[in-house]
Amino acid sequence: MQRSVRKLVGLAAITLAAPTHATLTHFSERQAFDAVLRAPATVERFTDDAHFPISTGVLNARTNLVVDHGTPIRPGDIRPGATYSTAIGREFFFNIDWSGTSDGGFLDGFVQPNGNPLTVTFDRPVAAFGFDTNRYMGSKFDLTVRFTHGPDQILSYATEPTFEHWFFHGFVSDRRDIASLVIEGDSQHFSSFAFALDNFTFSPPVPEPSAWALLLGGLCALGGMTRTRRQP
């Protein structure tokens, strides 16, 4: 029994000390993306209505804001686990819009003179994320993925040449250590969107360090109990 406990503790230590350079896998179909997740993901639909502009530049589960257009955004309208933010700009720099082609609301920001990418920060590191987008973000979009350890990864993807349909992009890390990301479209006109996305999806968070401490503490306690039982 003691040998088994030492083996489990050793495996936990190896996991904690694993290499920190993550590998991302890209999925272009939501069904395939969902199939590799170990637990149901959170899907943010950005409500069923339009709310704009989001004058604070910050949107999350705690947002309590009366907007100029549309109904107020109240705490709980946005699902917990992620914060969506952008630099404060002018006019409609940050919005929940609605269209006949989107699934309820969708999050966007009009291009600003100095640019205004969207930053998504997770409450705790996650294993995967994904979103729907289309030509609203221009001919392509740039994505910067930031990890709890290791360098950022900067990626670019072409958008589909249509405004009528939305297309999925999903990303899964083999290290489950995605801390945040930055999304910016390649719009060429001031009237275009700097970012536009719908059905933002992210996986359950990885265990916090305290959870690892509880696991290791429980294994050590189990070893102590085994030794005690074997005493004459």
What domains can be seen in the chain, in order of their start residue?
20-230 (2.60.120)
pLDDT tens-place string over residues 80-137? 999 999 999 999 999 999 988 888 899 999 998 888 999 999 999 999 999 999 989 8
> To which residue do tokens 């059905």 refer?
199
Across-strand partners of 42?
A: 202
Backbone angles phi, psi at 183, to 5 degrees: -120, 130
pTM score: 0.80
Enumerate residues 6+ apart whose C-beta is below 8 A from 158.
139, 140
Per-residue pLDDT of the chain (232 residues; tens, 9 = 90+): 555 444 444 444 334 444 557 899 999 999 999 999 978 899 999 999 999 999 999 999 999 999 999 999 999 999 999 999 999 999 999 999 998 888 889 999 999 888 899 999 999 999 999 999 998 988 899 999 999 999 999 999 998 888 888 999 999 999 889 999 999 998 765 458 999 999 999 997 655 444 444 444 544 444 444 444 445 4
Rounding to the nearest 10 degrees, give the CA dihedral for residues 44, 204, 123, 96.
Answer: -10
Torsion sign over Cα 51, 52, 56, 57 = positive
Q: Are the CB atoms for 206 and 15 separated by under 8 Å?
A: no
Please report, as a single letter, which amino acid is at residue 51. H
Count of beta carbons in the 10 Å neighbourhood of residue 4: 12
Of the candidates 77, 55, 78, 57, the residue with the CA atom closest to the CA atom of residue 68: 55
Across-strand partners of 145?
A: 153, 181
Across-strand partners of 155?
A: 143
Dist CA 43 CA 198 (whole Å): 9
Q: Are the CB atoms for 96 and 50 separated by under 8 Å?
A: yes
Dist CA 78 CA 62 (whole Å): 8
Pinpoint the alpha helices (H) of the chain: 2-16, 30-36, 209-230
Q: Are the CB atoms for 97 and 106 separated by under 8 Å?
A: yes
Task: Tell me the angle at which helices 2-16 and 209-230 cross, rounded to the nearest 10 degrees.
Answer: 160
